[in-house]
Amino acid sequence: MILVTGATGTIGSEVLRRLAARGEQALAMTRDPAKLSARAVKADFADPASLDRALEGVDTVLSLTAFGRELPEHDLALVAAAGRAGTKKIVKISAIGTGETDDEKDIRSWHHHGERAVRDSGMAWTILRPAGFAGNALMWADTVRAGEPIPNTTGSGGQGVVDPRDVAEVAVEALTGGAHDGMTYELTGPEVISVPEQARVLGQVLGREVTTVEIPLEAARQGMLASGAEPLLVEVAMTGAAFVAAGGAERLSGDVAAVLGRAPRRFADWVRDHRAAFE
């Protein structure tokens, strides 16, 4: 039995769909099983007893913890519960650049403890470190539908934007076979692409101009704080934006192609399959 945590989210829902298509026995973990039609178990990373119940009879677990200040402790809680349950294998969704800094205001530090716990767990493991998801573009959907320019805090800095479906496909390969045990993969798309370039792709697919407007970091910071965002998360967003703007995220990996035996999807592929959200 495979337990999929984060099962109602972007990656987890794709993983569940693909496991079902392969006829694999999978159980979805969520805090609210009413959200899912799949076979689901109610559990919360903050409640160890609920994790123990969710992991009963589970051989393999997909570890997907949500963005937020509790992410590191949720990672550790899941690995500890999997150890208690005698789980044999854990596949962890991490993030590109993990371990390259220990600054807590930098997202690249957040998965570090969880990765170490997974490697030291005694279970078989695979760690997946995706770049920024193509699906993050959905946060621009209202703006694009309204015909307004996309606010951009990252200048011309690019990222190896990855299609979440490719992340899910790699996760399914790691969950269902032994070939990827002990491996840490960096998952990127096939191209480094900036926000203005993403806007151009959106425009090409939608058949009308989509533009961007540069937002100075300080203005973005004040805007987020004024809207009630948690100060640590605001600083994480600002640190990430500055890193991308400086070109720090401009790297590509061949790992998606190596695992899946085909090129990764391009940002344009994701946009074509999600154009309805922008129309």
Q: Which tokens go with 18?
A: 């693909």
> Smallest Cα–Cα separation from 128: which of 73, 88, 166, 100?
166
Which residue, 63 or 212, has its beta carbon nearer to ligand NAP?
63
Q: How far is CA 243 from the centre of its chain?
A: 18
Determine contact, residues 91/5, Cβ cutoff 8 Å.
Answer: no
Which residue, 11 or 271, has its beta carbon nearer to ligand NAP?
11
Which residue, 110 or 218, has its beta carbon nearer to ligand NAP?
110
| Min dist. Cβ of residue 209 to ligand NAP (A) | 26
State which amino acid sits at residue 137.
A
Give 44's DSSP letter: -
81 binds ligand NAP (CB under 6 A): no
Which of 25, 56, 67, 147 touches ligand NAP by CB under 6 A?
67
64 binds ligand NAP (CB under 6 A): yes
35 binds ligand NAP (CB under 6 A): yes
Q: Which residues pair with 130 in a beta bridge?
A: 187
| Min dist. Cβ of residue 163 to ligand NAP (A) | 11
Judged by CB under 6 A, how many residues of this single chain contact ligand NAP? 24
9 binds ligand NAP (CB under 6 A): yes
Reduced to 3 states (helix: H, G, I; strand: E, B; else coil), residue 63 is strand
State which amino acid sits at residue 255.
D
66 binds ligand NAP (CB under 6 A): yes
DSSP secondary structure string for all residues of 84-126 = HHT--EEEEE--TTTTS---TTSGGGTTHHHHHHHHTSSSEEE
49 binds ligand NAP (CB under 6 A): no
Q: For binding to ligand NAP (CB under 6 A), which residues are involved?
A: 6-12, 30-32, 35, 44-46, 64-67, 93, 95, 130, 132-133, 136
